A and B are shown apart, each in its own frame.
Chain A
Amino acid sequence: MAWSLAGAMMGEEMEKILQCEGLTKTFTSGLIRTKCCEAVKNVTFDVEKGEIVALVGESGSGKTTVARLILRLIEPTSGQVLFNGKDVSSYDRREYYRRVQAIVQDPYSAYNPFYKVDRVLEEIFGLYKDGFSPEKRKEIIVSTLKRIGINPEEILGRFPHQLSGGQLQRFLIARPLMINSEIVVADEATSMLDASTRAGILNLLLSLKDNEKISILFITHDIAQAQYISDKVLVMQMGEVVEQGLASEVFRHPAHPYTKELFSSVPQLREKWDFEKTTQGPADKCPENP
């Protein structure tokens, strides 16, 4: 309840900055014998200002498709995404990406190995028509990096292969911060990092939420990370949201059978699985012959 209490105490209504209403995406393949695949079915949720919403589910459950729909990389089949109350397709693309930014899974492939890492940050000024003077740009970059705990001298002017995955990912998080984005879509942003650096990135995202009031849609398959970071959580299965609610509720008392099963498969640090009880279940069925 922490987030709603904080909002009430500050005496302000939590404003919804992103709303998905009945979002559906069907992928089709083939011209004659068309096959349809409903990747996302009737997904409705909203993200409020300064909150972290976690989207969890197994691979193939449609998490990334939701992210791509929100980022306007694909068009929804039906339903709509509203950003600040207006349909996202009514925004100018440049303006939209100034306010909505993404952090991707693989920090190594987000950089061009032939250019210095600075270029990733420089490029973001292309979202502004008139741009900034070079001095102003430099100033923004340096001050942002300091804000997220990176020593600018250590990193600027280097090539991607000279930096570690954690540093590269941290550097990418500076991007939305530089242009004061309102929402960040973090698609598996910490999945490729080591446990030791992962905690640092998660804490950084939490501090973005607290200090800069940036909303984050945190997409992950790792339930532990979702529990650590999120205020609200959505559990997806086969394109549908099967359970959503406050993180404190859902993680402690999952209601849907799928959620229960999913959470019970997560290894815990202090508790061991009981292998005595779980003797070999029925053999996995073979896929049907097409």
Chain B
Amino acid sequence: MAEPLLKIEDLKGNYRGIFGIVRAVDGVTLTVESGETMGLAGESGCGKSTLAQLSSGSPSPLLHYESGKILVDGIDIYKTDPEVFRTEVKCKRMSYVPQASMDSLNPVKRIRDFVLDVVNERTSKKPLILRIRDLSRARRKSLKKENLKMAGDHFEKLGLDRCVLDRYPHELSGGMKQRVVIGISTLWNPKLLIIDEPTSALDVTTQKRVIESLVNLKRAGIIKSMLFISHDITVLGQLCDRCAVMYGGKIVEVNRMDDILNKPEHPYTRMLISSVVSYDPTRMGKGGLKSIPGSPPDLRNPPEGCRFYPRCEMCSDRCKSEDPPLKPVGNGVVACWRHDG
């Protein structure tokens, strides 16, 4: 079997500040195989985005990497030389599209200039000043043209018109901006794309188009695998092969998407699925949804044992004292004492 593209082993990360230490990711083990689309689901505040930030290798200032291993295509991103990481791993092997990244487009620059900035930053190994001095004017001009052509071709694969490059961000619709961001981050055909809530701020019709673009990117072989993070499990169901469910900084279940939707094993997954409001053109009548009582744990001092037990209907004494490990069940793995032995 081929080496998985992303291999996370016992990853721990925390936020440190005057509020104390928040262990937002606490011992996560996850693999994303080559060629698969992995979904990551969970409530807000369960550590989905933190996991993505940590595996992108450039966590935000308050977030600290604690321990564990992240192997991207065989390269341990926290052990390797930062320069190698910047030039070899980022954008070439793995790309990360953060949440609300479409707002990161510079409002006073055309998309074209933004793209060129990113290209310069990514491809050269020298500081900017030296780089400019090195190149003759004609050479610079032709390089710029080349890069723009590359970007234009790439945008067309995403279903964007080439002339988007000449626009300012405010002239584009939300769906187009999102696809521009996806386009820029996949310019170097990264093997793995980590994408965080790309469609949460979009309408249903634009959401569908963005998801179609992503599926087409994968089908065209530009990206090989995807880690798609969303709170909306119906969206994950549309494009993911496997899905991981997070709760309170831990993975509680990983399984094939169909199994997650149709026969969830972990009580949390089951309650999450039963609380989803979904559209069904054949449905008659109303009601019948159940919400999950209580609220997610405070990760500054999480409950002993299983993190879900205060909200779980089926908890036993063992759940209150011991933390369940991930055990293989059926096609996937589940962290619940009910599946022990």
Contacts and interface: CB of A to CB of B under 8 A. Distances in A.
Interface string B269-309: 00111011111111111110111100100000000000000
A262 B160 contact: no
A59 to B, nearest CB: 6
Contact of B237 (A202, A266, A267, A280): A267
Contact of B261 (A228, A269, A286): A269
B281 A251 contact: yes
Contacts of B36: none
Interface in A196-243: 196-203, 206, 221-225, 227-229
Please tell me the size bucket of the interface on B: 35 or more
Interface in B135-188: 156-157, 159-161, 163-164, 167, 171-172, 175-176, 179
A172 B279 CA distance: 27
A279 interface: yes
A152 to B, nearest CB: 18
Contacts of B231: 194-195
B106 interface: no
Contacts of B232: 195, 267
A227 B283 contact: yes
A281 B206 CA distance: 13
B296 to A, nearest CB: 8
Interface stretch (A90-98, A118-126, A270-278): A270-278
A72 B213 CA distance: 42
A263 B203 CA distance: 12
A224 B281 contact: no
B76 interface: no
Contacts of A228: 277, 286, 289
Interface in B182-214: 203-205, 207-209, 211-213
A272 B279 contact: no
A281 B211 CA distance: 13
A220 B212 CA distance: 24
B234 A280 contact: no
Nearest to B171: A287
A252 B281 contact: yes
Contacts of B238: 267, 272-273
Contact of B203 (A59, A166, A229): A59
B315 interface: no
Interface in B217-238: 219, 231-235, 237-238
B119 interface: no
B204 A262 contact: yes
Given A196-B292, A266-B279, A286 B163 contact: yes
Interface residues of A, number: 49
A164 B205 CA distance: 31
B43 interface: yes
B44 interface: yes
B105 interface: no
A221 B174 CA distance: 15
Contacts of B292: 196-197
Interface string A26-66: 00000000000000000000000000000000110000000
B176 A284 contact: yes
Interface string B41-62: 0011000000000000000000
B205 A261 contact: yes
A76 to B, nearest CB: 26
B281 A199 contact: no
Most chain A beta-carbon contacts within 10 A, residue among B179, B233, B261, B275: B275
A166 B203 CA distance: 23
B22 interface: no
A133 interface: no
Contacts, number: 143
B159 A281 contact: yes
Contacts of A194: 43-44, 231
Contact of B286 (A198, A206, A266, A278): A206
B215 interface: yes
Contacts of A284: 159-161, 164, 175-176, 179, 209
A269 B275 contact: no
A236 B278 CA distance: 20
A262 B25 CA distance: 37
A10 interface: no
A248 interface: yes
B99 interface: no
Interface in B246-282: 261, 271-273, 275-282
B240 to A, nearest CB: 10
B295 A222 contact: no
A251 B280 CA distance: 8
B272 A221 contact: no
Nearest to A166: B295
Nearest to B295: A164
A283 interface: yes
B237 A252 contact: no
A265 interface: yes
A198 B291 contact: yes
Interface of B: 43-44, 156-157, 159-161, 163-164, 167, 171-172, 175-176, 179, 203-205, 207-209, 211-213, 215-216, 219, 231-235, 237-239, 261, 271-273, 275-287, 289-292, 295
Closest 3 CB pairs of A and B: A200-B291, A269-B278, A224-B279
17 contacts: A58-B204, A196-B271, A197-B291, A199-B276, A199-B289, A224-B234, A228-B277, A228-B286, A263-B281, A266-B279, A267-B234, A267-B237, A267-B238, A280-B212, A281-B159, A284-B176, A286-B163
Given A195-B277, A284-B159, 5 more contacts: A194-B44, A224-B234, A267-B208, A269-B280, A286-B164
